[in-house]
């Protein structure tokens, strides 16, 4: 596969002179090689070398360019901080690379906003400026190889190639057998992100202490008023989830070692104590409620107290698996000895409330527009619950969604008969009846059909859990990580078979920069010969590109050549 980029002939060989001329494949390789060296030094316990390599990485052009690219491609790229500055042009992004310097760096306060939570309360978010976001992304590149080497095997939140589904699958392993633990400590940390002790972080986070201290003490601005920050890592910062992970690392390993030292290896094995954590949410299994109440819970409370954290007395409880518990949007419960994992009632109600809100806010919208608004929500929710026993839930919720859409349609034509409304808004497609859909005119002028995503047609597909010992910066596990990443990305494309074919033909690489395409980078479907110039929708005229590479194609003179078929 080849891609040709128009270069400035007056520029020195190999030295980019603009944002559009950066060789992203080389940037990714340089950063990756340095991160592997940091990870190796961490495994060897050579902390002086770790610090030197981190310093070298954060000063490199490749790491700075990568950091700017990340903050200008993610979903928050159009949300400004207190300075109201956005890096939305190639020229400003190029200039931003030169601004990422340690000397003289002073972060601005975060812009405080509040977003609603499922329980009706509000969650505070701190929005850094673009410069501060890029600096956090830069230092995160140096911190991640270290934090991954220090992480617990069953910690799954905000880590590479790990997800909520991995946490769910691990709990299935811990609870599904007849001889599995029957009791669960369902723990909740009170305001984790807002209360982590700053002094503990400065002493224990393996990164530049001066930079970390500046971020922690930057403060926030809300309604024009400055508020100092004496504790916590504000939610909204790129590096905040990793800092929280570092703070909670050891919850699993240290607990196991402490119990073994106190009770012995054989006794601990009989107690069936297992920890599964996703960010600041975690559950701990045990063979009896006594071991959880008198041995595990006091240890956890002491572990958290050192970090300035406490358990929520209202939300922390010990339950039997026959009663069940909720975790990450699922309900885990044994029925007559069989473990079933289903979407939790709270999660279902919140989802249906979101659907009804979309429908009610678009009473006068065209049917095609309403379908465009609902389909991503329906598909995303269904794919999240696809690995669990959700078939009955999908059918029930689809019936409720139909009811909301029927009311929407009847309201628009209150004087028409029910049969007239049915014919206008609903149709039969294959074996499916009462399909909410409409005929549409496609971009090439031909007629097409658009209908609502079918929840009940979503196939149940079991999730393949990541290995507990997986280290994304270990060269020996490179093949395993690549295979896992591609399998999961293909699953996320499962509703678009053509994307899968393109992705496989390109070996998961962008057709322009030859770098990996992931969920984090995203992808665009590009027509080599534009449709306005007569190009077709055939696969031979299409390639998958990174969003930023797509911009280069259309605005910076980049030509894409379709790869030759693999032999």
- Please check whether residue 508 is in contact with residue 489, taking contact to mean a CB–CB distance below 8 angstroms: yes
Place of tokens 């946490």: 167
CA–CA gap between residue 39 and residue 46 (Å, rounded)? 10
Amino acid 563: pLDDT: 65
Contact indicator for 509, 543 with CB cutoff of 8 Å? no
Extract the runs of DSSP E, i.e. beta strands, from 38-87: none
Cβ(145)–Cβ(473) below 8 Å? yes
Distance CA 9, CA 483 (A): 39
Cβ–Cβ < 8 Å for 327, 375: no
Cβ(181)–Cβ(287) below 8 Å? yes
Closest C-alpha among 126, 171, 121, 166 to residue 312? 121
10-residue block means of pLDDT along the chain (567 residues)? 38 70 89 96 96 97 96 88 92 95 94 76 84 96 96 94 96 96 94 91 96 93 85 82 95 96 93 95 96 96 96 93 97 96 97 96 95 96 96 97 96 94 93 92 78 94 93 90 81 71 86 83 80 64 84 73 60
The H or E element containing residue 433 is strand 432-441
Residues sharing a CB contact under 8 Å with residue 434, sequence separation 6 or more, in sequence order: 402, 422, 426, 428
Give pLDDT, residue 226: 87
Scanning the structure block, which residue is given the tokens 């939300």? Answer: 315
300 Cβ neighbours under 8 A, 6+ residues apart: 185, 187, 251, 255, 284, 311
Q: What share of the chain is helix, strand, coil (3-state, %, to 5)?
A: 45, 15, 35
In this structure, the number of other CB atoms found within 10 A of the CB of residue 308 comes to 17
Instruction: Find all residues with CB under 8 Å of 411, minimum gap 6, and list them.
Output: 363
| Residue 38, CA distances (Å) to 155, 192, 243, 473, 474 in order | 21, 28, 18, 9, 10
Helix, strand or coil, per DSSP, at residue 22: coil
Look up residue 399 and give its two tokens.
């019936």
Check: CB of residue 203 under 8 Å from CB of residue 105.
Answer: no
Query: Helices 130-150 and 24-43, interaxial angle, to 10°?
Result: 40
Look at the alpha carbons of 454, 455, 458, 464 in this order and tell me if their dihedral is positive or negative: positive
Query: Strand pairing of 274-278 and 122-127?
Result: unpaired
Q: For the whole model, what pTM was predicted?
A: 0.86
Residue 347 and residue 327 in contact, taking contact as beta carbons nearer than 8 Å: no
> For residue 144, which phi and psi values (nearest 5 degrees)?
-60, -45
**Per-residue pLDDT at 448:** 84
Could you tell me the sign of the dihedral formed by the alpha carbons of 321, 326, 328, 330, in that order?
positive
pLDDT of residue 5: 39
Instruction: Give CA separation, 521 vs 71, 96, 352, 464, 518, in Å.
Output: 11, 20, 29, 22, 5
In contact, 140 and 261? CB cutoff 8 Å: no
Listed residue (246, 241, 235) closest to 201, CA to CA: 246
- How many helices and strands, by DSSP H and E, does the chain display? 21, 18
pLDDT for the residue 24: 87
C-beta of residue 115 within 8 angstroms of C-beta of residue 76: no
CA dihedral angle for residue 163, residue 167, residue 168, residue 174, rounded to 10 degrees: 160
Beta bridge partners of 222: 225
Q: How many residues does the chain have?
A: 567
Can you tell me whether residue 403 is helix, strand or coil?
A: helix
Q: Which two tokens stand for residue 561?
A: 């050549």
């Amino acid at each position: 596969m080849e891609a040709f980029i128009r270069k400035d002939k007056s520029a020195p060989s190999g030295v980019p002179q603009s944002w559009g001329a950066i060789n992203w494949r080389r940037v990714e390789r340089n950063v990756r090689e340095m991160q592997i060296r940091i990870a190796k030094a961490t495994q060897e316990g050579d902390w002086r070398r770790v610090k030197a390599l981190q310093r070298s990485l954060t000063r490199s052009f490749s790491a700075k360019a990568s950091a700017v690219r990340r903050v200008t491609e993610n979903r928050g790229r159009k949300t400004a901080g207190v300075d109201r500055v956005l890096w939305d042009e190639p020229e400003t992004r190029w200039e931003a690379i030169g601004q990422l310097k340690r000397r003289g760096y002073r972060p601005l306060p975060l812009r405080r906003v509040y977003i609603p939570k499922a329980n009706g309360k509000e969650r505070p978010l701190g929005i850094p400026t673009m410069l501060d976001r890029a600096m956090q992304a830069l230092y995160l590149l140096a911190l991640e190889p270290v934090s991954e080497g220090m992480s617990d095997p069953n910690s799954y939140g905000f880590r590479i190639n790990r997800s909520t589904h991995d946490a769910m699958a691990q709990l299935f392993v811990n609870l599904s057998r007849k001889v599995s633990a029957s009791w669960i400590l369902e723990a909740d940390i009170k305001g984790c992100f807002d209360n982590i002790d700053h002094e503990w972080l400065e002493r224990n986070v393996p990164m530049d202490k001066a930079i970390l201290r500046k971020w922690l003490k930057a403060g926030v601005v809300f309604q024009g008023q400055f508020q100092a920050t004496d504790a916590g890592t504000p939610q909204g910062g790129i590096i905040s989830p990793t800092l929280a992970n570092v703070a909670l690392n050891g919850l699993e390993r240290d607990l196991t070692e402490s119990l073994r030292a106190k009770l012995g290896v054989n006794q601990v094995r009989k107690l069936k104590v297992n920890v599964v954590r996703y960010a600041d949410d975690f559950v701990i299994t045990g063979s009896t409620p006594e071991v959880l109440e008198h041995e595990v819970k006091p240890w956890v409370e002491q572990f958290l107290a050192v970090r300035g954290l406490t358990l929520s007395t209202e939300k922390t409880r010990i339950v039997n698996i026959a009663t069940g518990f909720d975790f990450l949007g699922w309900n885990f419960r044994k029925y007559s000895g069989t473990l079933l994992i289903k979407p939790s009632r709270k999660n279902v109600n919140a989802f249906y409330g979101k659907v009804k809100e979309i429908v009610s806010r678009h009473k006068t919208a065209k049917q095609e527009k309403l379908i465009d608004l609902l389909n991503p929500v329906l598909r995303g929710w269904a794919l999240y619950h696809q690995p669990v026993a959700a078939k009955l839930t999908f059918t029930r919720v689809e019936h409720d969604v139909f009811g909301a859409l029927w009311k929407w349609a009847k309201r628009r034509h209150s004087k028409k008969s029910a049969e007239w409304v049915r014919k206008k808004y609903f149709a039969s497609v294959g074996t499916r009846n009462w399909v909410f859909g409409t005929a549409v005119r496609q971009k090439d002028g031909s007629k097409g059909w658009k209908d609502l995503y079918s929840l009940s047609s979503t196939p149940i597909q079991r999730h393949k859990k990541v290995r507990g010992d997986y280290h994304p910066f270990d060269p020996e596990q490179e093949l395993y990580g690549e295979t896992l990443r591609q399998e999961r990305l293909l699953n996320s494309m499962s509703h678009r078979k053509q994307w899968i074919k393109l992705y496989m033909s390109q070996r998961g690489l962008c057709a322009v920069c030859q770098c990996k395409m992931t969920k984090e980078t995203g992808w665009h479907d590009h027509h080599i010969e534009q449709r306005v110039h007569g190009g077709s929708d055939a696969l031979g005229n299409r390639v998958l590109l990174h969003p930023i590479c797509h911009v280069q194609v259309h605005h910076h003179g980049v030509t894409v050549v379709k790869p030759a078929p693999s032999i």
